[in-house]
């Protein structure tokens, strides 16, 4: 029948499978719709998973008021903890200042994080939720509805076909004819509903494909929002770093052991390094007549404590005045731990060349020329130290520390090559040359550094001003009388340089047995 044929055409397949892949309106449409249908499920799956993971990345609670969200941020609680800690320590503590500054910074960072999360929720997380939980499910519901309509249409067609066959057998029965007409109308209406639903579903699915660029924008927005958040956070941190450094640089109580001399002097606004002045001034009070000063090992615990107190700028003069060996040990440690020797690396070869002069006068003149090349900071501290060592050698009858002995135990702490060797290497001609440099400078301290010197520059260590009365350069170097007294051996070697009390005493023994003298003009 003509009507039947037209209905079969509008049926578009007539199968009750409930999806667009049943369509036979051309092969191209069939393939593209099928691909879209598959993509719907995949996009829903990916969007749902991404939404879930992004939500887990949020530090604040999702969906609450901004104020409540801010209070729950870990950065907010950290900021409050730091600020509270700063209040406890106070502004007269460097840590207090740092905690306050860092607390304020963390609070600003938490506000940036809050804005970032709110924006990400609004522009990324919520749209992804809508896509995966609303838009795609609506399309899928439409597809299920189409399935039901197709089934209804197939049922109506079956009833109509049966009625049509019955009407041909009983054509005279008017009631059957009326029923067939009603069934035909029902089938036409069902087919119309299927067509409308199919068109709507196709429109929704193609609309989904057309909006894929919009969906992709969600992820571009994610990166843009993150970039802006990190840019602002970095800007905050970069702005606060200089302030932190200023607080640190302006803080007077800084470690000095192992720090470059010029840095320490600059930070403390001093001409003479704090450990050098403190130790020298105390030794002038209590150590000039102490036998074996700089050779006898101090108590390890006392030395450690004194170095720590010098490092933080707190010194109990009364406590250490009874232990000059600890003071001398701290002074040696400070010199030994300088990143560059007091007499500098770049002048090392010139010092050695000057000490190789066999003529006494030429040797002294050569050493003086090198002295004059020392940087100002090094020159000031070297002059200060040499004047003290010359003063110490005046008491050699009591303390057994002649200029030669002082040069042996202290010289390697004042000058060493940039590439250091082993202990054995230190007791070779190279070490002898260092002694040949230091000994004559001590013996002729006032010729190398004319004028009196005030040792207690800052007046903080209880020692009166001292004046070095060593004779000026006017005669030959006196012979150095080496002491044969028993040396205290400390078998622990210094980690940074192979020099220690044990090494000093080994050197002294080496010189004594070898019969060598370090006076200028004496052949090796």
pLDDT in tens, 92-147: 788 888 999 999 999 999 999 999 999 999 999 999 999 989 988 998 888 889 88
pLDDT of residue 448: 93
pLDDT in tens, 46-76: 999 998 999 888 887 766 677 777 888 889 9
Fold category of 261-448 in CATH = Phosphatidylinositol 3-kinase; Chain A (1.10.555)
Residue 345 binned pLDDT confidence (cut-offs 50, 70, 90):
very high
- Counting residues of the chain whose pLDDT is more than 90, the rounded percentage is 37
Other CB atoms within a 10 A radius of the CB of residue 92 amount to 7
Is the confidence at residue 166, as pLDDT, over 80?
no
pLDDT of residue 69: 79
pLDDT in tens, 388-434: 999 999 999 998 999 999 999 999 899 998 875 554 554 455 677 88
pLDDT in tens, 257-293: 888 999 888 878 889 998 999 999 999 988 888 898 9
Higher pLDDT residue, 448 or 182? Answer: 448
Beta strands in 289-410 (DSSP E): none
How far is the C-alpha of 473 from the C-alpha of 450, rounded, in Å? 10
Other CB atoms within a 10 A radius of the CB of residue 266 amount to 12
Spell 161-189 as b/e; 16+ CB within 10 A means b: eebbeebeeeeeeeebeebbeebbebbbe
pLDDT in tens, 477-487: 333 333 333 33
How far is the C-alpha of 41 from the C-alpha of 46, rounded, in Å? 9
Is the confidence at residue 489, as pLDDT, over 90?
no
The two most distant CA atoms of the chain are separated, in Å, by 159
Q: What residue has token string 């030669």?
A: 404
Higher pLDDT residue, 169 or 333? Answer: 333
How far is the C-alpha of 152 from the C-alpha of 159, rounded, in Å? 11
Q: What residues contact 284, with CB distance under 8 A and at least 6 apart? A: 388, 391, 455, 463, 466
Q: In what helix (H) or strand (E) does residue 390 lie, and over which residues does it extend?
A: helix 376-393
Q: Express the helix, strand and coil content of the chain in percent, nearest 5 each.
A: 70, 0, 30
Is the confidence at residue 176, as pLDDT, over 80?
no
- The two three-digit tokens of residue 400, written as one number: 């057994």
Spell 238-256 as b/e; 16+ CB within 10 A means b: eebeeeeeeeeeeeeebeb
The pTM score is 0.55
Query: Is the torsion defined by CA of 419, 423, 429, 431 positive or negative?
Result: positive
pLDDT of residue 108: 93
pLDDT in tens, 213-258: 899 999 999 999 999 999 999 999 999 999 888 877 766 566 788 8
How far is the C-alpha of 166 from the C-alpha of 176, rounded, in Å? 8
Is the confidence at residue 347, as pLDDT, over 90?
yes
Task: Give the Å distances, CA to CA, from 396 to 35, 284, 391, 443.
Answer: 102, 14, 10, 12
Distance of CA 489 to the CA centre of its chain: 42
Angle formed at CA 37 by CA 31 and CA 43, multiple of 5 degrees: 130
Is the confidence at residue 34, as pLDDT, over 70?
yes
Is the confidence at residue 472, as pLDDT, over 70?
no
**Own/partner long-range contacts of 362-368 (Cβ < 8 Å, ≥24 apart):** 363/440, 363/520, 363/521, 364/440, 364/444, 364/447, 364/473, 364/520, 367/437, 367/440, 367/441, 367/448, 368/447, 368/448
Query: Is the torsion defined by CA of 215, 217, 223, 227 positive or negative?
Result: negative
Is the confidence at residue 341, as pLDDT, over 50?
yes
**Domain 32-165+179-250: CATH superfamily, name plus number:** Arfaptin homology (AH) domain/BAR domain (1.20.1270.60)
Q: What ranges do the domains of the chain cover?
A: 32-165+179-250, 261-448
């Amino acid at each position: 029948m003509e009507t039947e044929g037209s209905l079969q055409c509008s049926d578009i397949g007539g199968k009750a499978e409930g999806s667009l892949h049943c369509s036979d309106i051309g092969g191209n449409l069939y393939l593209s719709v099928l691909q879209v249908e598959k993509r719907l499920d995949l996009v829903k799956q990916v969007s749902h998973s991404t939404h879930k993971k992004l939500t887990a990345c949020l530090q604040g609670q999702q969906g609450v008021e901004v104020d409540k969200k801010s209070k729950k941020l870990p950065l907010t609680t950290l900021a409050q903890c730091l600020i509270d800690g700063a209040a406890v320590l106070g502004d007269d503590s460097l840590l207090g200042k740092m905690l306050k500054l860092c607390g304020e910074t963390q609070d600003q960072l938490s506000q940036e994080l809050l804005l970032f999360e709110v924006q990400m929720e609004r522009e990324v997380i919520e749209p992804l939720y809508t896509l995966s939980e609303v838009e795609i499910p609506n399309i899928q519901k439409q597809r299920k509805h189409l399935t039901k309509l197709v089934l209804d249409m197939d049922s109506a067609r079956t009833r109509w076909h049966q009625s049509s066959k019955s009407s041909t057998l009983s054509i005279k029965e008017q009631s059957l004819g009326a029923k067939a007409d009603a069934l035909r109308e029902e089938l036409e209406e069902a087919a119309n509903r299927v067509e409308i639903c199919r068109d709507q579903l196709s429109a929704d699915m193609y609309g989904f494909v057309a909006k894929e660029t919009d969906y992709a924008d969600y992820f571009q927005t994610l990166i843009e929002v993150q970039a802006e958040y990190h840019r602002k956070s970095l800007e905050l941190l970069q702005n606060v770093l200089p302030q932190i450094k200023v607080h640190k640089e302006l803080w007077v109580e800084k470690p000095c052991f192992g720090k470059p001399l010029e840095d320490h002097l600059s930070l403390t606004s001093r001409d003479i390094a704090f450990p050098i002045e403190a130790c020298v001034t105390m030794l002038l009070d209590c150590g000039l007549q102490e036998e074996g000063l700089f050779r006898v090992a101090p108590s390890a615990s006392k030395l450690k404590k004194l170095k720590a107190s010098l490092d933080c700028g707190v010194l109990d003069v009364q406590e250490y005045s009874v232990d000059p060996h600890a003071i001398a040990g701290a002074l040696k440690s400070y010199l030994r731990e300088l990143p560059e020797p007091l007499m500098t690396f770049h002048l090392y070869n010139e010092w050695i060349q000057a000490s190789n002069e066999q003529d006494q006068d030429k040797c002294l003149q050569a050493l003086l020329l090198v002295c004059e090349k020392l940087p100002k900071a090094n020159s000031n501290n070297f002059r200060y130290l040499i004047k003290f060592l010359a003063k110490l050698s005046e008491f050699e009858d009591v303390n057994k520390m002649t200029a030669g002995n002082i040069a042996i135990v202290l010289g390697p702490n004042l000058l060493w090559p940039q590439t250091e060797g082993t202990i054995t290497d230190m007791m070779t001609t190279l070490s002898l040359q260092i002694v040949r440099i230091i000994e004559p400078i001590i013996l002729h301290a006032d010729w190398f550094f004319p004028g009196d010197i005030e040792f207690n520059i800052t007046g903080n260590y209880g020692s009166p001003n001292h004046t070095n009365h060593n004779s000026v350069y006017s005669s030959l170097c006196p012979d150095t009388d080496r002491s044969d007294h028993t040396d205290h051996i400390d078998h622990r070697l210094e980690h940074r340089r192979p020099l220690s009390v044990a090494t000093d005493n080994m050197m002294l023994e080496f010189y004594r047995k070898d019969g060598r003298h370090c006076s200028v003009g004496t052949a090796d």
